[in-house]
Chains A and B, each alone.
Chain A
Amino acid sequence: MTRRVYITPGRPQQGAGAHSETQPVRMRAVAAIAGVAVAFSLLAGQLVRLAILGQGEVSASMSQPIAIAFARPDIVDRNGQLLASDLVMPSLFADPALVVDKDELAEKLGRVLPGLNQAELRKSLADRDKRFVWIRRGMSTRQAEQIHSLGLPGIEFRSELRRAYPSGTLAGHALGFVDVDNKGIAGLERYLDEMGRIEPVSAPSLTKRPPVQLSIDVGVQHAVEEELTAAMATYKARAAVGLVMDVTTGEIIAATSLPSIDPVSPSLTSATINRLTDGTYELGSVFKMFTVAMALDSGAMTLETPVDVRQALRIGRFTITDTHPVNRILSLAEVFRRSSNVGAGKVAMELGAERQKAFFERVGLTGPLKTEAGGVAAVQLPERWGDVDTVTRSYGHGIAVSPLQFAVAAASLVNGGKRVTPTFLRRAVAPEAPDERVISEETSRQFNALMRGNVTERDGTGRRADVPGLEVGGKTGTAELPGKGGYRKKSVISSFFAAFPMSAPKYVTLVSLFEPQPVAESGNEITAGRNAAPVTGKILSRIAPQLDIMPRTAMQ
């Protein structure tokens, strides 16, 4: 082993001894310590710079697995009843190259899976170059077990998230539907996507997010749908819409458009469109509610103000007449109860087009409307607003609105005069809005008395909607549908807008029957007083107890 001797220049060699041997070690140690100190100083300096001075850019990269589906939260009604839920279900696929006998496979699977298109499956399996063919996406565990026990080669299962709707077609239009990847396409399902309430997942797993609670009440929704289905059969109507809404909070308790759609396999045709929100219609005499409310709120008229309806109303080349003309002067209240077109037209003329236009805007008839279930069809209102238009719009012609928009606007007349914002989500209190008053409280009170009178008075058109103890009030509307060269006399939309209990309205309802036929049950008439009004009465008698509205006369 060679021993190194270090010689320090300028230093005497004598007496170096042990000191000269430890000197290089110490120097190396000092150098190492100095190096480490410098490195730590640099690190500390950088930390100080980043932390205190905030200099430098921080970038981070994240890896996210590729999403194969979307996990959605449950949808429940206002009482927690399940309306839509994700389920992990087995899906069946085949590898055509491994299938031994495609005919046998199609035949045996056809016995377990109802509705399986065997011919199409055979065709798909014939191409043996394909290595993957879906047979059925989403099935029950029992079906999967049955298929598994068949022991067929070339088929396999894969778990997938599938959306289930235990209540079937109930509230189908409002709920909407999802696509094959569980992504919302329409209705409230789409709203969940838009609000970021869904989770992209790379494996079929349920979301842990809390359920979305709707304002809809399953029991009320069912009662409305059942009565409307029965009404369509009784009056041979082509379609029907129904709505129940809380006038204070704007919560939609039931909303339906029949024929309904099945969210699992929606069939979107012209027959199944959502007439409540996606169609606009001239709704006829129910619009007289706005004309009379406008007259009362303006202060220019009272319920006793006389209106001369003895002569037909002539505007330019048009002549406005009443279905049941009377040869005497009516009060404003009688114009409402008898649903006089001439009377409504004269009132509107008296108040003027500008006032009518402003009132329609104020109650929200002409602006856009949107709910969580999607946009509502825009009102169809020609720019021209002459005398003829003022008169026809006073009784619901020359303006086409969606039934939902109409009902929302009309609700603000009976709830004390406050604007209503409709919602499909459960809401404890009404949203606060600074300038939400539509009409005065006094006007609303007078108007409610008028609505009640239309159901209780002998000359009222809504008598058949009365339910003992519920204090029902309402207005009828029978609107002829437009056709080639004018209106079709025998094709109408019969509507009844109701509120209850009229002493302090809590809920409003709207029932519209599309093209009802004259049948014995309606006295061979097609007017709303003979079909939509009694249907409303039946609905109210069923839903009032569910909504905690008990008959009042008996308790007083």
Chain B
Amino acid sequence: MRILMISAAAMMLISAFCLYAINYDTRQFAERVQAQERKLDKAREDIAILKADRAFAGRPEVIGPAARALGLVPAGEAQFVRGSDPDSVAQLPEAGSAEAGATQQ
């Protein structure tokens, strides 16, 4: 009986110690998780700002003039070749020319 009592008491102490250790580890783990979440939140905030910056820099009113300066124009009839007449290659305006810019308008 005594042995049983001593064993039980010992088990209780061991259990209490284990419980404390687990609790301590859990708290530490929770803190690490919180720190990671804070980092994630910060990264998400930074990404949101970068995405907004990219959208701002890529507005059509910014891209448009740059594309026109390169001589890019919307697809038009002259840019297509008839299958029945492959030699009918249209003369496109040269890149950067005034005509290329005017076609866009």
Task: Enumerate chain A interface residues (CB-CB to B < 8 A).
Answer: 74, 81-83, 85-88, 141, 164, 166-168, 170, 205-206, 218-219, 222-223, 226, 468-469, 538, 541-542, 544-546, 550-551, 553-556
Per DSSP, are chain A's interface residues mostly helix, strand or loop, or mixed?
mixed
Chain A residues with CB below 8 A from B91, complex form: none
| CB pair A551 B76 closer than 8 Å | yes
Q: Contacts A85-B52, A166-B56, A555-B82 given: A545-B75 contact, CB under 8 Å?
A: yes
> With A206-B45, A218-B60, A222-B60 in contact, do A551 and B75 touch (Cβ < 8 Å)?
yes
Which among A87, A88, A168, A550 is the interface contact of B59 at CB below 8 angstroms?
A: A168
Q: Could you show 24 A-B contacts with beta carbons less than 8 Å apart?
A: A81-B55, A82-B51, A83-B55, A85-B48, A85-B51, A87-B45, A87-B49, A87-B52, A170-B59, A170-B60, A222-B59, A222-B60, A222-B64, A468-B76, A468-B77, A469-B77, A545-B74, A550-B80, A551-B77, A551-B80, A553-B77, A554-B77, A555-B80, A555-B82
Tally A-B pairs: CB < 8 A.
Answer: 77
Would you call B96 an interface residue if the criterion is a C-beta within 8 Å of the partner chain's C-beta atoms? Answer: no
Central interface residue in A81, A86, A166, A556, by most chain B CB within 10 Å: A166
Q: Is the CB of A82 within 8 A of B52?
A: yes
Cα–Cα distance between A468 and B75 once the two chains are bound (Å): 11
Of the four ranges (under 10, 10 to 19, 20 to 34, 35 or more), the interface on chain B belongs to 20 to 34
**From residue B3, how far is it (CB to closest CB) to chain A in Å?**
20
Q: Which residues of B contact A168 (CB under 8 A)?
A: 59
Q: Could you tell me the distance between the alpha carbons of A83 and B51 in the complex, rounded to whole angstroms?
A: 10
Least Cβ–Cβ distance between A435 and chain B, in angstroms: 39
| In contact, B74 and A542 (Cβ under 8 angstroms) | yes
Q: Are A164 and B41 in contact (CB under 8 A)?
A: no
- Name the A residues within 8 Å of B58 (CB-CB): 81
Q: Which residues of B contact A538 (CB under 8 A)?
A: 105
Is residue B87 contacting chain A, with contact meaning CB distance below 8 A? no
Point out the residues of chain A lying under 8 angstroms from B104, CB to CB.
Answer: 542
Q: How far is the CA of A553 from the CA of B90 in the complex (A)?
A: 14
Closest 10 CB pairs of A and B: A222-B60, A554-B80, A166-B55, A545-B75, A82-B55, A166-B56, A551-B77, A469-B77, A88-B45, A468-B77
Please indicate the chain A residues that have their CB under 8 angstroms from the CB of B41 in the complex.
205-206
Contacts of B53 in A (CB 8 A): 166
Cα A87 to Cα B60 with chains together (Å): 22
Q: What A residues does B48 contact at CB under 8 A?
A: 85-88, 206
| B44 close to chain A: CB less than 8 A | yes
Task: Give chain B's interface residues, CB within 8 Å of chain A.
Answer: 41, 44-45, 48-49, 51-56, 58-61, 64, 74-83, 104-105
Closest chain A residue to B75, Cβ basis: A545
Interface centre among A88, A167, A550, A554 (most CB of B within 10 A): A554
Complex-state Cα separation, A74 to B49, whole angstroms:
12
Q: Considering only CB atoms, which chain A residue lies closest to B37 in the complex?
A: A205
Q: Which residues of A contact B76 (CB under 8 A)?
A: 468-469, 541, 551
Contacts of B81 in A (CB 8 A): 554
Inter-chain contacts of B82 with A (CB < 8 A): 554-556
* A87 to B52 Cα, complex, angstroms: 9
Please give 6 more A-B residue pairs, beta carbons under 8 A apart, in addition to A545-B75, A554-B78. Answer: A81-B55, A82-B55, A85-B51, A167-B59, A542-B104, A544-B75
Closest to B60 in A: A222
Contact for B60 among A164, A206, A219, CB less than 8 A: A219
B10 to chain A, nearest CB (A): 24
Knowing A205-B41, A555-B80, A555-B82, the reply to whether A541 touches B74 (Cβ < 8 A) is yes
| Min CB gap A521→B, angstroms | 13
* Complex Cα–Cα for A545 and B79 (A): 12
Q: Which of B52, B61, B79, B105 has its CB near the most chain A CB atoms (within 10 A)?
A: B52
Chain A residues within an 8 Å CB radius of B78: 554
User: Per a CB cutoff under 8 Å, which of A164, A170, A550 touches B75?
Assistant: A550
List, in ascending order, chain A residues with CB within 8 A of B49's CB. Answer: 87, 141
* Bound CA span A553–B77, Å: 7
Residues from chain A with a CB closer than 8 A to the CB of B64 are: 222, 226
> A469: which B residues are within 8 A, CB to CB?
76-77
Alpha-carbon distance between A205 and B77 when the two chains are bound, in angstroms: 51
**Given A86-B48, A87-B49, A206-B41: A544 touches B60 (CB 8 Å cut-off):** no
A70 CB to nearest chain B CB (Å):
16
Nearest CB of B to A533, in Å: 17
Contact B61 A222 (CB under 8 A): yes
Give Cα A358–Cα B56 distance, bound, in whole angstroms: 49
Q: A166 is contacted by which of B52, B75, B83 (Cβ under 8 Å)?
A: B52
Most chain A CB within 10 A, of B55, B74, B83, is at B55
Cβ of A420 to closest chain B Cβ, rounded Å: 27
**Chain B contacts of A81 at CB under 8 A?**
55, 58
Report chain B residues within 8 Å CB of A166.
Answer: 52-53, 55-56, 59
Q: Which residue of B lies closest to A168 (CB)?
A: B59
CB distance from A92 to the nearest CB of B (A): 18
In Å, the complex CA distance between A469 and B54 comes to 35
Residues of B contacting A141 with CB < 8 Å? 49
Which residue on chain A has the smallest CB distance to residue B47? A206
Inter-chain contacts of B44 with A (CB < 8 A): 206
In the assembly, what is the distance between CA of A109 and CA of B45, in Å?
A: 25
Residues of A within 8 A of B77 (CB): 468-469, 551, 553-554
**How near does chain A come to B89, taking the closest CB pair, in angstroms?**
11
Cβ contacts under 8 Å, A87 to chain B = 45, 48-49, 52
Q: Could you tell me the distance between the alpha carbons of A468 and B48 in the complex, rounded to whole angstroms? A: 43
Q: How far is the CA of A189 from the CA of B41 in the complex (A)?
A: 24
Residues of B within 8 A of A551 (CB): 75-77, 80
Set of chain B residues within 8 Å of A218, measured between Cβ atoms:
60
Bound complex: CA of A544 vs CA of B75, how far in Å?
A: 8
Contacts of B51 in A (CB 8 A): 74, 82, 85
